[in-house]
Amino acid sequence: MTVTWARVCARRIERHALSPPAPADRLADVVSAMCGAHAQVASAAELSVGLRVAGTTRATVRDALWRDRTLVKARGPRGTVHLLAAADLPMWIGALSMTPRPPYEAGRDALLDPEQTELVVAAIADALRDAELTTEELTEQVVARTGAWAGDRVMDAFQDKWPRWMIAMTAASRRGAMCFGPNRGRATTYTSPARWLPGFTPMDGPAALAELVRRYLHAYGPATPAHFAQWMATPRRWAEQAFEAVDLDQVAVDGSVGFVVAGDTEFPPDGANGVWLLPYFDAYTVGCHPRELLFPGAARQRALAGSQAGNFPVLLVDGTVAGVWHQRRSGRRIEVTVEPLAPLTGARRRALDQQVARIGQILEGTPSLTIGPVTVGAHA
């Protein structure tokens, strides 16, 4: 089957609920469909979700996470912090349990040997079983259950040194031993997924991984094992084996070949039509490939950091990156600067005005728009 890039963009835009946005009562379904919202920066996650769900504000997203618990803050693809649909957590943990140990856990210079990692993961699970603990509190509990070595401040992090045990946090997340709890003031807390989702039991690993591949291809297909490996930060051969466990159809897109789930070959007849301002590490920007089509021409130099997507918030026109943008907040004022890489038509400029107004609604502020150069660097 052969389709144009424009039709691929239209399919992805629709499946990401960027157009049209989903009804307000579908918030968790949207987060599920996009395979999680990157949440290292909380406001970026709130904006990612808000752009896809009609009437949603940052308060709505926070309520879904901390009050209704239809979302959960946990480590997802690439081991990075995401908002995930709580109902999907068993699948995520099952699938993540199948991923190879990253080099920083298994290499010669790893800060924990395999036996120590097992001790720390067990200590984390025990400490968080019925508690929400800050990093400092969890450090005390882990050290008490393992030994003083776990508290040695040897892990480089943000011009500081963190305790040794923290290198095992991603492993503990992959095993279903921990997720994030609500902040206590400015302090991050952690808790057990079983407290968040009563009756929580991880899915069988192979079945969960096959389901994750299907979910990924539904949102980002056509895609290849190499694309999936980059999205998950895993070796390519491992991703190839994951694809082999799923029935697939092959699709050609403007000279490149990718895969979709067998039978899922429906594409809109026309291309996408719209303007969006996507925040840092938005799922669409990070998950979609090929990069040379998503970031054409000048967009490759301006909106990518090497080969990594997501470091710049992007202006998306008809599903393709067409510029960058930045916001600066002061109280309720939100100053938005957009740098298009080509002149905008009158219709697209009006659509951009509407997008800026929507950002103000989501972030509960009063926005203003400047068209001009974005002078800050990546991830500023």
pLDDT at 21 over 80: yes
What is the arithmetic mean of pLDDT over 37-52?
96
Residue 8 has pLDDT above 70, yes or no: yes
User: What pLDDT was estimated at residue 154?
Assistant: 87
Integer Cα distance of 177 and 305 in angstroms = 33
Spatial separation of the C-alpha atoms in residues 339 and 373, rounded to whole Å:
5
pLDDT digits (tens, 9 = 90+) for 290-346: 999 999 999 999 999 887 899 999 999 999 999 999 999 999 999 999 999 999 999
Exposed, middle or buried: residue 87 (CB in 10 Å: 0-12, 13-18, 19+)?
A: middle
What percent of the chain stands above pLDDT 90? Answer: 90
Contact at 8 Å (CB) between 271 and 4?
A: yes
Q: What is the pLDDT of residue 306?
A: 83
Task: Categorize the per-residue pLDDT at 380 as very low, low, confident or very high, splitting at 50, 70 and 90.
Answer: low
Q: Residues 88-116: what's their mean pLDDT? A: 88
Dist. CA 78–CA 68, nearest whole Å: 26
Which pLDDT score, from 0 to 100, does residue 329 have? 95
For the chain, the domains span: 102-178, 206-261
What pLDDT, on a 0 to 100 scale, did the predictor assign at position 157? 76
- 154 and 111 Cβ atoms separated by less than 8 Å: yes
Helix (H) or strand (E) holding 260: strand 256-261
Q: What is the pLDDT of residue 161?
A: 87
- Determine the pLDDT at residue 159: 75
pTM (2 d.p.): 0.95
User: Model confidence over 103-160: pLDDT tens digits?
Assistant: 777 766 788 998 999 999 999 999 999 999 999 999 999 999 999 999 999 888 777 8
Integer angstrom CA distances of residue 237 from 249, 251, 253: 19, 21, 23
Burial class (CB in 10 A: 0-12, 13-18, 19+), 343: exposed
Degrees, nearest 5: CA angle 254-256-257: 120
The pLDDT confidence band at residue 255, using thresholds 50, 70 and 90, is confident
| Burial (CB count <10 Å: 0-12, 13-18, 19+), residue 67 | exposed
Percent of the chain with pLDDT over 70: 99
Strand blocks (E) in 31-168? 37-38, 71-75, 81-85, 133-134, 153-157, 160-163
Mean pLDDT for 253-272 is 95
- The pLDDT score that the predictor gives to residue 93 is 97
Provide the residue type at 294 as one letter.
Answer: L
